[in-house]
């Protein structure tokens, strides 16, 4: 039996969340944006944190994925985990 996309996404998220591998900032930004699009869709919210420039980059990366459905974003997130972790 094959796993559904939500199970695979959850496993990928847990793997990414628990990794000790240090990834480049641009890769981390991709993880963030695909995760947000996968879980929130186009329901944007201000990133939390004190660093305004970093928050602007995060929000911009998320905006750039507005053409993806939540399912497409989950698939792309899974691909990122497979590629980098």
DSSP state of 1: -
Structure confidence by residue, pLDDT tens digits, 31-52: 999 999 999 999 998 887 778 8
Burial class (CB in 10 A: 0-12, 13-18, 19+), 66: exposed
Q: Where are the domains of the chain?
A: 5-84
Model-level pTM?
0.91
Phi/psi of residue 44, each to 5°?
-70, 150
pLDDT at 1 exceeding the cut of 60: no
Q: How far is CA 15 from CA 27, 31, 78, in A?
A: 15, 12, 10
Of 54, 11, 14, 17, nearest to 62 (Cα)?
A: 54
For the domain spanning 5-84, the CATH number is 1.20.80.10
Assess contact for 50 and 18: CB atoms under 8 A.
no
């Amino acid at each position: 039996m094959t796993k559904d996309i939500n199970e695979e996404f959850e496993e990928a998220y847990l793997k990414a969340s628990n990794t000790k591998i240090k990834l480049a900032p641009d890769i981390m930004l991709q993880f963030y944006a695909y995760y947000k699009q996968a879980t929130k869709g186009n329901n944007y919210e201000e990133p939390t944190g004190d660093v305004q420039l970093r928050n602007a980059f995060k929000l911009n990366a998320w905006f750039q994925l507005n053409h993806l459905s939540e399912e497409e974003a989950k698939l792309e997130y899974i691909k990122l985990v497979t590629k980098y972790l």
